[in-house]
Amino acid sequence: MTESRVALLVTLCSAALLAPLAVPLLTGRVFVTDDLAFYHLPIRHLFQQALNAGDTTLWTPAIFSGLYLHGEGQAGIFHPFHQFLYRVFPLGAALNLEMIASYPAAFGGTLWLLRRLGLGRAAALTGAMLFAFSGFNLLHHMHINMVAVVAHLPWLLAGADVLITDERPRARTLAVAGIAVCLASAILLGFPQAVLWDGMALAAFGLFRAGQTGRWRRLAPLTAAIAIGTLLGGLQLLPTLAAAADSTRMQESSEFAMTYSLHPYNIIQLWSPMFFAKGAFSDRGFMLFHEYGIYSGAVLQLAVIWVWIRRDALTKPRALIMAAAVFAAVGLALALGEHGGVAVLFTYVPGLQTLRAPVRYILFFQFALAILAAVMLDDLLAIAEGRSEPPPARSLAALWVPAALGIVTTLALNSGVFGYGRHTFASAPAAAAGVAIVTAVTLLVYLAGRRRRWAIGMLVVMTAADLAVWGIGFIYRRPLQTIEELTQSIPPAPDAPAASYATAPERGPYKDDLLVLKGYRLTNGYVGLYPAGRHPLDGDLAMRLAGTRWVFTNSGARLPVGGGVERVRLLDDQGQPAGSARLLVDRPGHLVAEVEAHGPGTLALTERFHEGWSATIDGRAGSTARVEEDFLGCRVETGRHRVTFRFMPRSFVYGSIASAIGFVLLAGVLLGAREPTP
């Protein structure tokens, strides 16, 4: 099979992997796995509502009785792509397009990177398919902004490669601009943990290429590009840092950072992907398959063995192979978290102790092995075309190690021979299906290594099928739904905002933030950065002060609840009524109240307090006050007054200034890239 035909086959297989992700877009439905339905969809609903109404997108009253929505970050509110999607398309279509876009983006970036690293077209396409549709990216499809940030990784590395290795000054200057824009785009998506991964990979790759080429001085413009990109992303970065500082995350111990560490048992997945009854293993807390499922195709593990077998023949890509192997090993060690000891070192770095789930470093492992798999395919094509001699048959015996391990573990553990793991291990027939896939891929690699050209094409198809069974199969575990179907059984919220305050259940069909899709304002909710407060969100006092009118049970029932205070009220210094108050405007980030005060007192609202609120009284500057520490208020004097509250936090102002500085610097870089006029 010629390289051009293999390239065409990989392209078709990649399109086939993308097609199931586009089905919701074509059918008017959405994926509803976990955070997609209960977090990302409601958050983007609030974002789109604010855009359509001309309200601020910085603040929402619909979660926690008020939330710095932009600071929380995960809607990527000021990312140009999100601004376009949620202004132009209906909510479901916009969500689907946001999710789908990450996969071709990751594919294109990886393809460009691998071509720059000297791999052939078919091999580069294969590596792109393996990374774009990797286990990590597909299993984490519900974390749409995380996958989107990860999709920037190969683009950043390819840009760094241009900057370090290209001899054309204009190309290097454009690379500086490209890296800066790409990094800013990642920051604006609002998932700082994934931005950290991109930064770590970029630093490692920059050092590798500078060392390989001896061009250490070009790390200086790379550093400048990162600085400009960080400034450009200041519009999101500073609000996120401010929101994190005001959140419960800052109260977590260093042990928090080690939650969701990869237990070493999960390494068995690499040779027996269906070994565990629940797909993976966790020794504490919930077993979340999308976190602990680390398999990403049998071809990755075989690539490691192949490049070792061919270490004497693969002289040209040897440095790349070594770098990828080291990066994969580091990624696996970091993913082990508390079981590996390496990630524990990060808990001593200020700020990083607030980032949990070391298992997600498996991204590095899968990305690096995708590069090795591309090298393997390039070598197999060279053998098939007679450009390289095939290895001796006896040396290929090592390829069968994963399959042999799979057979042994299936017979010894899944069959119940030792009488333990009955509820942890899958049945022998179930595990055998995974081992059969590993064995089939091994056979195809073996035959391709023996110059069976047809085996290369079959290997590509089998690899795509392997990714589909593991990743696409997981995505479709829950049936697609329209937004109307998802919310049809929820009683609509009352039209009056003050009557719509409700508490969501911890579990059940309406948990987390789903209720906001039917117009409720939640006095609790779910986000990544929970605002810190004096009163527990689900405590009786907090519910009363937030004006809660409804409580939803875990079974989905809606129950009225009494005792909640009025949306706006006037209190004297003893907390007693001190006059009348009514709310004239009740919009996100904009509140206007009319008060009649019998004496000096406090205008108190059920809106959550934040330092970003400011107040004017009869057009003159006033001062905001905390009511019971957690809620918004303002001191007023005797008489009739009109009090206006606006939300504009300093972190957003300073972030906007940082982004403006970044734009000026970026413009200077682009001007430097212009061709001189003759």
Average predicted confidence (pLDDT) for the chain: 94
Q: Per DSSP, what are the bridge partners of residue 646?
A: 590, 614
pLDDT score, position 2: 87
Average pLDDT over residues 570-583: 91
- Evaluated on CA atoms 478, 149, 260, 372, the torsion sign reads positive
Is residue 438 classed exposed, middle or buried when 0-12, 13-18 and 19+ CB atoms within 10 A define those classes? buried
Residue 346 counted as domain residue: yes
The alpha carbon of 513 is separated from its chain's Cα centroid by a whole number of angstroms, namely 18
Q: 437 and 574: one domain?
A: no
Residue 207 counted as domain residue: no
- 95, 41 contact by CB (below 8 A): yes
As a whole number of angstroms, the distance between CA 460 and CA 329 comes to 25
Q: 494 and 607: one domain?
A: no
Q: 590 and 556: one domain?
A: no
Position 467 confidence tier, pLDDT thresholds 50, 70, 90? very high
pLDDT score, position 537: 84
Contacts 24+ apart (CB under 8 A), 487-492: 487/514, 487/517, 487/518, 489/556, 490/514, 490/515, 490/517, 490/518, 491/518, 491/558, 492/518, 492/519
As a whole number of angstroms, the distance between CA 390 and CA 309 comes to 11
Q: What DSSP element (H or E) covers 309?
A: helix 298-309
Task: Label each residue of 431-449 as H, E or C.
Answer: HHHHHHHHHHHHHHHHHHH
Q: 298 and 422: one domain?
A: yes
pLDDT surpassing 80 at residue 214: yes
Residue 113 counted as domain residue: no
- 433, 469 contact by CB (below 8 A): no
Closest CA to 196 of 153, 258, 157, 249: 153
pLDDT digits (tens, 9 = 90+) for 105-121: 999 999 999 999 999 99
pLDDT digits (tens, 9 = 90+) for 142-184: 999 999 999 999 999 999 999 999 999 999 999 999 999 999 9
> Phi, psi at residue 191, to the nearest 5°?
-130, 85
- 579, 607 contact by CB (below 8 A): no
Average pLDDT over residues 296-300: 97
Residue 306 counted as domain residue: yes
pLDDT score, position 675: 64
As a whole number of angstroms, the distance between CA 422 and CA 669 comes to 62
Tell me which of 64-73, 422-431, 563-572 is least confident.
422-431
pLDDT score, position 177: 97
Q: 461 and 495: one domain?
A: no
As a whole number of angstroms, the distance between CA 23 and CA 96 comes to 9
Q: Per DSSP, what are the bridge partners of residue 636?
A: 601
pLDDT digits (tens, 9 = 90+) for 237-289: 999 999 999 998 887 777 888 889 999 999 999 999 999 999 999 987 678 99
Q: What DSSP element (H or E) covers 379?
A: helix 362-384
The DSSP string of 140-165 is TTTSHHHHHHHTTHHHHHHHHHHHHH
Range of the domain at 632: 568-647
pLDDT surpassing 70 at residue 677: no
∠ CA 275-281-284, rounded to 5°: 165
CATH of the domain at 591: 2.60.420
Q: 412 and 540: one domain?
A: no
pLDDT surpassing 90 at residue 314: yes
Is residue 581 classed exposed, middle or buried when 0-12, 13-18 and 19+ CB atoms within 10 A define those classes? buried
Residue 347 counted as domain residue: yes
pLDDT digits (tens, 9 = 90+) for 21-42: 999 999 999 999 999 999 999 9
Q: 576 and 447: one domain?
A: no
pLDDT surpassing 70 at residue 676: no
Calculate what percentage of the chain has a pLDDT beyond 70.
99
- 550, 505 contact by CB (below 8 A): no
Q: 283 and 390: one domain?
A: yes
pLDDT score, position 355: 86
CA dist list (Å): 412 to 272, 406, 609: 13, 10, 59
Q: How many domains does the chain fold into? A: 3
Residue 38 counted as domain residue: no
Pairing of strands 590-597, 639-647: antiparallel
pLDDT score, position 678: 52
HSE, side-chain direction, 13 A CA sphere, residue 632: 28
Structure tokens at 543: 């519910």
Position 351 confidence tier, pLDDT thresholds 50, 70, 90? confident
Q: 393 and 497: one domain?
A: no
Residue 64 counted as domain residue: no
pLDDT score, position 517: 97
Residue 168 counted as domain residue: no
Q: 365 and 292: one domain?
A: yes
The alpha carbon of 646 is separated from its chain's Cα centroid by a whole number of angstroms, namely 31
CA dist list (Å): 568 to 432, 593, 596, 602, 646: 64, 8, 12, 10, 16
> Phi, psi at residue 485, to the nearest 5°?
-65, -35
Q: 531 and 427: one domain?
A: no
As a whole number of angstroms, the distance between CA 95 and CA 87 comes to 12
Position 443 confidence tier, pLDDT thresholds 50, 70, 90? very high
pTM of the model: 0.95
Last residue of a domain, one of 521, 543, 560: 560
Average pLDDT over residues 635-664: 97
As a whole number of angstroms, the distance between CA 347 and CA 363 comes to 20
- 470, 297 contact by CB (below 8 A): yes
pLDDT score, position 674: 73
Q: 519 and 463: one domain?
A: no
- 133, 471 contact by CB (below 8 A): yes
